[in-house]
Structure 1
Amino acid sequence: MADAIYVGGLLVATPLLDDPNFRRSVVLVLEHDDDGGTLGVVLNRPSDITVTQVLPVWDALVSGPSVLFEGGPVQTDSALALAVVLSGEEPLGWRRLHSGRPAVSRLGTVDLDAPPEILAGEISQMRIFAGYAGWTSGQLENEVREGAWYVVDSEPGDTFHPDPSTLWRSVLRRQPGELAMVATYPDDPKLN
């Protein structure tokens, strides 16, 4: 388990968090500043909207499933893309997440206004998110203290997990100690 919130780390919703925007969500932290707040995207909320419907020029580069992901409740009419580069170089149209953690060393954001052919041979995986999750300075830290979020380390496969519906359980299952047991928490505890 991570000690503090950091760029490239994960926020995993605890069973106590019942907000429909974040219930059983896994959020990748993209920006974190003690003074400016935190920004991230929900990794495990694929939508029914295909990439072809909204950004057809990027469809060929998107890793499956080829749909828009619901990145969070803020600015849902805007899109943000994440991609992994093949080499350590920073190609035009891609910006590295600055975290210093190995799990995200080749992960960055994509400029969706750039021509896709610039990145076509440079990236290995890509996903597009509609909206994002955001917290003002101190807000997320308070939510963590109140028991709404677990702060854990990410692994390279988390951002592009092949089955987003299992990501919440998968991330929890690999945690040490009692936290791994939370993965078995029933969807509806009243039915237990």
Structure 2
Amino acid sequence: MKSLDFDIFKGQKPGLKPARGRILIAEPFLQGPYFNRSIVILTEHGEEGAVGFVLNKSSELYPDEVIEDLFNFKGELYVGGPVASNTLYFIHSLGDKVPDSVKITDNLYWGGDFEVIKDLINTGVADHTQVKFFAGYSGWSPGQLENEIEEESWIVADVDDDLVMNDDIDHIWKQAMENLGDVYKAWTNFPENPTYN
């Protein structure tokens, strides 16, 4: 029998620190209704904690069903996380067309003037490929996220803007894992419940 020089259950940590514009990829055995096999984009990270949005959990609603005066928006309403689930947030790739947005990557922005985003959608200037809506958000108190990363609940990775805006949410966790390399690619075949084999 040959001894392996790595542990398949631990992977090879990329070594990135959490920061605005990076993603958190849930390790395969992280459980719970919000974070099981989830990908979270971080929109804030600092001494006061972290804020992010789960990219691949659908609410099974559409934004134009819950937002007054929003018409014909084809994208889904995503569950951003367990905090303030009765509030609405959005990420977009419209840059300074939306005043007061916070830049999170070279091409992606968080929030901004809500009336402007509605107008851009209603006039056909923007669509679901450029705007993603979330109910609620994911939040961590100071040091909490770092502890979860140390406990190997999350892998921190650089963001792929296309992955963030992708609406094929059933496959983006697997895609993000595979982008990390061979050991992580193997993780995508683990059952969601480890008691199933």
TM-score (norm 2): 0.82
Alignment root-mean-square deviation, CA: 2.1
Instruction: Say which structure is richer in strand.
Output: 1
Give me the whole-angstrom Cα distance separating, in 2, the residues matched to 1:84 and 1:58: 18
Q: Distance in 2 between matches of 1:77 and 1:165?
A: 24
Partner of 1:47: 59
Do structure 1's residue 78 and structure 2's residue 87 form an aligned pair?
Answer: yes
Residue 90 of structure 1: aligned partner: 96
Q: How many residues align?
A: 180
Q: CA deviation at 1:90?
A: 1.3
Corresponding residue of 1:57: 69
Query: C-alpha offsets along residues 153-188 of structure 1, whole Å, 9 cap, x if unaligned?
Result: 111211111310111111001112422221222223
In the alignment, structure 1 residue 25 sits paired with structure 2 residue 38:
yes
- Residue-by-residue CA offset, 1:71-117 (whole Å, 9 max, x unaligned): 000000000011102xxx5124351324xxxxx21211233632422
CA apart distance, 1:30 = 0.4
Structure 1 residues 125-140: aligned runs within 5 Å: 125-140=130-145
Residue range with higher mean Cα deviation, 112-121 or 20-29: 112-121
Post-superposition shift, 1:191? Answer: 2.3
Q: What is the aligned-residue identity percentage?
A: 26
CA contact (8 A) 1:2 1:153 kept: no
* Range moving further from structure 2, 113-122 or 141-150: 113-122
Which residues of structure 1 form unaligned runs of 5+? 99-103
For residue 181 of structure 1, the aligned residue among 157, 182, 186 is 186
Q: Does 1:8 find its partner at 2:8?
A: no
Structure 1 residue matching 2:170: 3-state secondary structure:
helix
Runs of 4+ in 1 over 6 A off after TM superposition: none
What is the deviation of 1:2? 5.3
Question: Which is greater in Rg?
Answer: 2
CA distance in 2 between counterparts of 1:67 and 1:48 reads 7
Task: Give me the whole-angstrom Cα distance separating, in 2, the residues matched to 1:162 and 1:69.
Answer: 10
TM norm structure 1: 0.84
